[in-house]
Amino acid sequence: MSRFFRSNIIIKTAAEIDQMRESGAIAARALRLACEAVEPGISTAEINDIAEAVIREAGAHPTFLGFQGFPGSVCANINSEVVHGIPSKKVKLCYGDVFTIDVGATYKGWIGDNANTVAVGQVDGDSQKLIDVTRAALYAGIEQCVPDNRLGDVSHAIGIVGRAAGLGIIQTLVGHGVGKSLHEEPSVPNEGKPGKGPILKAGMVIAIEPMFTLGGDEVVLRNDGWTYVTSDGSRAAQIEHTVAITEDGPLILTQE
């Protein structure tokens, strides 16, 4: 059975992590195929439908659909949109856009959560740098996911990559624990102090998701009640994996 550490962080057993690898693989496949479909002129609703079909064909459920009333199976974010963008038939991708897709899959009760930011066609150099640095920061954070490190080590590793590249780092939106619930403890900020925060223990599972911008650190919520955008209109990227801390080191669960 899952057990709790520090009263609110759920520690998964090895068998439960194996089950999460199944849900993670489904989420990863849905995200990959959705990204492969990205091209100028496609609507964000079509991207949503591709990912949802992959998830359902695997016998899983799109985690985001209906979560707290969210109307889509994926979050679809263009340029200055950071997270929680609602897919729409009316919104079509344009050449040169930066597009982020966030996908969750629930299988046998367990959740896999991942996201990727891709270029629509070819993007300018700053936008490509934004994507590349966000991905590098994700893997820098993953490298710190070893037993007896602290959560602040993960956040610090992410943050120093972003700041060194001159990027903004969203402060009010963070990664999170994940398991049978989409959002579990602990929160995983994208900037922090090394040696601080909860000790990482084998069996912890967290979604690490750097959210960087070409401008400042602040976001605002649109009137739709879901979509967060950069307050200065700058472009944003979000890249995410679900990661288990194990005695053998970090294990990325959202991979095929």
Q: For the chain, 256 residues long, give each residue's pLDDT as a single digit of tens.
A: 355 454 589 999 999 999 999 999 999 999 999 999 999 999 999 999 999 999 999 999 999 999 999 999 999 999 999 999 999 999 999 999 999 999 999 999 999 999 999 999 999 999 999 999 999 999 999 999 999 999 999 999 999 999 999 999 999 999 999 999 999 999 999 999 999 999 999 999 999 999 999 999 999 999 999 999 999 999 999 999 999 999 999 999 999 9
pLDDT at site 7: 53
Task: Look at residue 219 and give its three-state secondary structure.
Answer: strand
Structural contact between residues 74 and 52, judged by C-beta atoms closer than 8 angstroms: yes
Residues 111 and 247 sit within 8 Å (Cβ to Cβ): no
- Calculate the CA 57 to chain-centre distance: 22
Distance (Å, whole) CA 216 – CA 233: 9
What local confidence, expressed as pLDDT, does residue 1 receive?
39
The token pair that represents 108 in the structure block: 């046998």
Helix (H, G, I), strand (E, B) or coil at 109: coil
Report pLDDT for 92: 98
Torsion 201-152-28-9 (CA) sign: positive
- Work out the end-to-end distance of the chain between its first and last CA atoms, rounded to an integer number of angstroms: 26
Tell me what pLDDT residue 177 has. 97
pLDDT of residue 146: 98
Looking at residue 42, the DSSP 8-state letter turns out to be -
CATH number of 8-252: 3.90.230.10
